[in-house]
Structure 1
Amino acid sequence: MNFEQHFTDKQKGMISLALEYADAIGESVDKVYIYTSFENNLYAFDIFFKKNDEYYMLHELSNSVDPSLIIDVLQIGNKDLRDIKQICDKYAQQMPTQMKIVYDNNLKKVSAEYSYDIFHSDSTTLTYRDIFQKWFKEVKNSSL
């Protein structure tokens, strides 16, 4: 396997994780939005969903979600992100500081944006969570 194959496989794993979470709580979703951040050795991973033209944060998809399941999903996603860092290191490739992955579950298509810029680690007030919530609002307001 080469770099692209390893990198893509890990992203597929993140998508599968999100879909498995939705399935585990008895929900079907139209789209999955995955956000990752890696700045100053801080790893962050989060997900939101589109279902029936409404947008839901990970913890909002169902009213009866066990909080430990959400924690497990976030920990597994962070582990996948750490694995991507190892893949980048192994192949001497730069690790993206930010990834925005969108999976259309109806069309079975994925799109992704990668950035290598600094977004929050040089700020005394911004966190990865602020950037994630901003993206959530942008997507929700534009109905992407």
Structure 2
Amino acid sequence: MSKVFEDKFSELQADMVSICLEYVEDRAEKIFIHCSLEKKLVSSSFFYCINGKVVERHKLNDALDSEDDFQYDTSGERQSGVLNIINDNIVAMLKLCEEYNREMPTEIKLIYNVAENSLKADYRYDMVYSNYPDKSPDDISMEWFDEIKSNM
């Protein structure tokens, strides 16, 4: 029965990767997805590595070479659509965890390597930002972005 849970949980993560890959039109080296669920607050974010540069989802075109005539569509509508799908998947994960009597992670960090078709997932189960009055899920996501960017 555990296999069924793992398969369903993995499918939801794969769906997050798929929508982020669609957003970037399959033109990225890596995709980074941050998911958060603390005290019933669902939050998510995503960013990319393109041409060796780590960029936020609304700044994808900053990573393009000057001679590249391709432009990403980074409209607010498209960004919101992706975030809505990721957030729906987080809620589905919560329901799945409840159904199988499993603990839901408070934070999930996904790194998808496009060329290798490999997914690395890091889970936390403790409170990441709720215990800090001056931190929000966005702050935690930006800290991860800055960490990844400084290590590239």
TM-score range (shorter-chain normalised) is over 0.9
Distance 1:114 1:38 in 2: 11
Question: Paired residue for 2:120?
Answer: 111
Question: Paired residue for 2:139?
Answer: 130
- In the alignment, structure 1 segments of 5+ residues that lack a partner are none
What does residue range 84-123 of structure 1 map to in structure 2 within 5 Å? Answer: 84-123=93-132
- The structural deviation recorded for 1:64 is 4.7
SS of residue in 1 equivalent to 2:24 = helix
- The structural deviation recorded for 1:65 is 2.1
Question: Runs in 1 of length 4+ with deviation above 3 angstroms?
Answer: none
CA contact (8 A) 2:36 2:42 kept: yes
Question: Paired residue for 1:44?
Answer: 43
CA contact (8 A) 2:57 2:74 kept: no
- The structural deviation recorded for 1:67 is 1.1
Q: In structure 2, which of residues 82, 89, 110 is the aligned counterpart of residue 80 of structure 1?
A: 89
User: Counterpart amino acid of 1:45?
Assistant: S
- Say which one has the larger Rg: 2
Distance 2:119 2:138 in 1: 23
CA-atom RMSD in angstroms: 1.2
Question: Paired residue for 1:65?
Answer: 74
Distance 2:40 2:51 in 1: 37
- In the alignment, structure 2 segments of 5+ residues that lack a partner are 62-71
Distance 2:53 2:7 in 1: 33
Q: How many residues matched?
A: 140
User: Counterpart amino acid of 1:12?
Assistant: A
Question: Paired residue for 1:56?
Answer: 55
- The structural deviation recorded for 1:50 is 0.2
User: Counterpart amino acid of 1:40?
Assistant: K
User: Counterpart amino acid of 2:88?
Assistant: K
Distance 2:73 2:36 in 1: 28
The two structures have a TM-score, normalised by structure 1, of 0.93
